[in-house]
Structure 1
Amino acid sequence: MKKNIGFLNFGHWTPSPQSQVRSASDALLQSIDLAVAAEELGVDGAYYRVHHFARQLASPFPLLSAIAARTSRIEIGTGVIDMRYENPLYMAETAGAADLISAGRLQLGISRGSPEQVIDGYRYFGYEPAEGEDHADLARRHTADFLEALKGDGFAEPNPRPMFPNPPGLLRLEPHAPGLRERIWWGAGTRATAEWTAAQGMNLMSSTLLSEDTGVPFHQLQAEQIERFRSAWAAAGHAWEPRVSVSRSIFPIVSDLDRAYFGGESRGQDQVGMIDGGIARFGKTYAGEPDRLAKALAEDEAIAAADTVLLTVPNQLGVDYNAHLLESLLEHVAPELGWR
């Protein structure tokens, strides 16, 4: 089954001499360069993680707009934006601008967020859960307002004596990006959240961990999550077909340098641990020679069920090496799996 293949860049930087990414400037500029290189290779998507109070990529829309201006085909997106921190209406404006610059290539992943670098970081941004809410409710309230704004309906009372002439009726946010509402994804960490995602009319973005564990292998638990999402989508009766992405750490070993970096991961397996006070299951890393790698990936039930695979890239190894990884997967692994 043909897959959309993208990469997911966490945008880490560190002043360590072992890193190719030693500053925020390096992280941002190399993120642009990798997207340009990936488009030239035939990769379908460039996605970026968003973390606050960390030496990682944070505010995504300037970066996405810069990538949009340097590319013409590749999808650009996030995986994911923490909605606890967002002003929904301002986000609708900036997302609309980035989507128009890209000519409709924005694929925006959002969620309630992950464990933070600081305690309740969203409070420093001026946001508090309302009475009776917790932080997840805050994220979902912001999301509801954001999705409503993306529809493009007027809701604001116009000034009777405006600086510039208004169109008739209530005013909407500008710029409006037609079609962006159907290109919003939710990062779901459980099966129940995937069903909620479908009910809201958002695409499903599932990563390399799930915040629950039933004792089955990660890829089977994730495949069940995807099945539940698709069933809930059908029951909701939305007018368009959804997309589903899964993230994987996949490293084809085709050189001595690949082997030096990732040879020790060739016997990777799922891990079970604690996150946010609950049990979570983490997917394994795939690394090996292309034929063995293709065989292992063919047995991954969640990849089989998804239409999009996002490859988590070790960005601190630099643009050239990450472009090499993407090229190796497209050339040596994807054809064997029928992804290309």
Structure 2
Amino acid sequence: MTKNIGFLSFGHWNPSPHSQTRSGSDALLQSIDLAVAAEELGVDGAYFRVHHFARQLASPFPLLAAVGARTSRIEIGTGVIDMRYENPLYMAEDAGAADLIAGGRLQLGISRGSPEQVIDGFRYFGHQPAEGSDASEMAREYTKILLQVLEGNGFAEPNPRPMFANPPGLLRLEPYSEGLRDRIWWGAGSRATAEWAGEVGMNLMSSTLLTEDTGVPFHELQAEQIQRFRKAWADAGHPREPRVSVSRSIFPITNDQDRAYFGAETRSTDQVGHLDGGNARFGKTYAGEPDRLVKELAEDEAIAAADTLLITVPNQLGVDYNAHVLESIVADVAPGLGWR
């Protein structure tokens, strides 16, 4: 099965001399350089995580626009934007502009978000859940507004004496990018939220973490999540086929540097922990010689069920090393699995 392969960068930076990414400027500029390098290697997607109040990538749209301007083929996206922090109308304008700059290559991953660096950080951004609601519901309401305005229908009453002439009828947000509504992904951390994404007509983005645990291996639980999403999508009667992505940490070991960095991860297994007051299951890291990785990845049921695989990259090891990892996956691993 042909599979889209992208990278997902959290954009960590640290002033430590051991880091290749020591400032916010480094994180942003190296993200652009890695996207350019990935496109040259034949990688299909460049995705970036969004975390507020952290030494990581935060404001995505300037970065996405810059990557879009420097590349011509690769999909560009987020994994994911925390909707608790967003003004959905302003976000729709930013997303439309970035998508037009990129020529329609934006794949926008959004969600309720992950545990934060600060307590209720969204409140500092001016967002307050309505009485009787909570932050998760607020994120879903913002998402519904975003999806609605991305349809491109007019909704705002025009001024009868505008500064500039208006087209007839109610006004929509501009710039409008045709087709962007179909390229919105929901980062689902559970089976229930995946079903909700299918109901409202968003693609599914699932990571190396699920905020629930049924005792089965991570990839089996995630495969069930994908199956439930697809059923909810079909039951809702959406006209197009949805897309599904999963994230994995995959490190082919082809030289001594790889072995020094990730040799210990060859014994990696799933982990179960506590997150947001409940059990959570974390997927394992795949590390080993390419032929071993081919055998192990072939048994991953969730990867088999997805059309897109996002490779999480250790961005503080620098652009050259991460390009090496991606090249090895594309050249040494993907062909053995029939992905290329």
Could you say which residue in structure 2 is the equivalent of 1:244? 244
Q: Structure 1 runs of 4+ off > 2 angstroms? A: none
Could you say which residue in structure 1 is the equivalent of 2:144? 144
Could you say which residue in structure 1 is the equivalent of 2:83? 83
Q: Does 1:26 align with 2:20?
A: no
Could you say which residue in structure 1 is the equivalent of 2:106? 106
CA distance in 2, matches of 1:231, 1:144: 21
CA distance in 1, matches of 2:69, 2:331: 27
Could you say which residue in structure 2 is the equivalent of 1:168? 168
- In structure 2, what residue type is equivalent to 1:280? A
The offset of 1:239, in angstroms, is 1.1
Q: Deviations over 1:231-269 (max 9, x none)?
A: 111111001110000000000000100000000000110
- In structure 2, what residue type is equivalent to 1:48? F
State the identity as a percent: 80
Could you say which residue in structure 1 is the equivalent of 2:254? 254
The offset of 1:154, in angstroms, is 0.5
Could you say which residue in structure 2 is the equivalent of 1:305? 305
Query: How many residues are treated as equivalent by the alignment?
Result: 340
RMSD of aligned alpha carbons = 0.4
- In structure 1, what residue type is equivalent to 2:262? F
CA distance in 2, matches of 1:77, 1:71: 13
Q: Does 1:215 align with 2:215?
A: yes
Gaps of 5+ in 1: none
Could you say which residue in structure 2 is the equivalent of 1:333? 333
TM-score, reference length from structure 2:
1.00
Could you say which residue in structure 1 is the equivalent of 2:15? 15
SS in 1 for 2:333: helix
| Correspondence 1:54-65 to 2 at 5 A | 54-65=54-65
Could you say which residue in structure 2 is the equivalent of 1:51? 51
Could you say which residue in structure 1 is the equivalent of 2:193? 193
Q: Deviations over 1:105-142 (max 9, x none)?
A: 00000000100000000000000000111110110011
CA distance in 1, matches of 2:145, 2:334: 39
SS in 1 for 2:205: strand
TM-score, reference length from structure 1:
1.00
- In structure 2, what residue type is equivalent to 1:136? S
Could you say which residue in structure 2 is the equivalent of 1:156? 156
CA distance in 1, matches of 2:191, 2:88: 26
CA distance in 2, matches of 1:172, 1:196: 26
CA distance in 2, matches of 1:275, 1:2: 34
The offset of 1:317, in angstroms, is 0.1
SS in 1 for 2:110: strand
CA distance in 2, matches of 1:170, 1:230: 35
